[in-house]
Amino acid sequence: MCDPTARVSRGITRWSLVTSAVFTAAMCGVGVVAAQTPRTGLGSPATPSEISAWGTIVGPGGEALPPGRATAAEGRALYDRRCAACHGPTGQEGPDDRLAGGQGSLAGDEPRKTVGSYWPAATTLWDYVNRAMPFNQPGSLTTNEVYAVVAYVLFLNDLVGERDTVDAGTLPRIDMPNRDGFVADPRPDIAAAR
């Protein structure tokens, strides 16, 4: 799985080679550079800068979190403008996924999966928002804006104070209520990549 040539053996264009390399890098947690496929002789190795142009992958440990910082107070107006229409003013109203509330509900009759009740890490919340939100304009937030709305979503879940600094140092240390609610994937290739 973590042999880069294995992942790119079916890649026939430069584009798909880069895609494969990013996927492999994500799975393996290392900067893997795709090799030219020996079978077809097509394509060229993806360079580290080509791979990083696809974006930063921030895992649970938060090592790749970029410099930047914000507080929930700074994120409130941005959340209201860019997130609330789909997630509700307090993150609980929808119409799309609920982001707040539901803590302690997972084992009950009406489990409510939210950032506060379900997500095991605050670092991957940064990663997800950075690459996928706002749903209608992904990639449009600056680094500090991502820190700001993440801080505000965490604040809506009572996980940080309004004026707490959220940055690469503090995010990995936030105790998410469901941090122990997941089990490690036992498949050997996944385990080996950790």
Q: Closest separation between CB of residue 11 and ligand HEC, Å?
A: 26
From 89, 82, 168, 173, select the one nearest 127 (Cα to Cα).
168
**CB neighbours (10 Å) of residue 86?**
16
Q: Judged by CB under 6 A, does residue 158 bind ligand HEC? A: no
Amino acid letter, residue 183: V
Least distance to ligand HEC, CB of residue 77, Å: 12
Which residue in 26, 134, 164, 172 binds ligand HEC (CB under 6 A)? 134
Distance CA 165, CA 179 (A): 21
Out of 36, 106, 120, 128, point to the residue binding ligand HEC (CB under 6 A).
128
Which of 8, 57, 65, 129 contacts ligand HEC by CB under 6 A? 129
In the block, tokens 């801080």 appear at: 151
CB 182, min distance to ligand HEC, A? 14
Binders of ligand HEC among 55-114, rule CB under 6 A?
82-83, 85-87, 96-97, 99, 113
Cα–Cα distance measured from residue 154 to residue 123, given in angstroms and rounded to the nearest whole number: 11
Under a CB-based contact definition with an 8 Å cutoff, are residues 130 and 141 in contact? yes
Measure the CA angle with vertex 129, ends 123 and 131; round to 5°: 105
Q: Does 133 bind ligand HEC (CB under 6 A)?
A: yes
Site residues for ligand HEC per CB under 6 A: 82-83, 85-87, 96-97, 99, 113, 115, 125, 128-129, 133-136, 149, 153
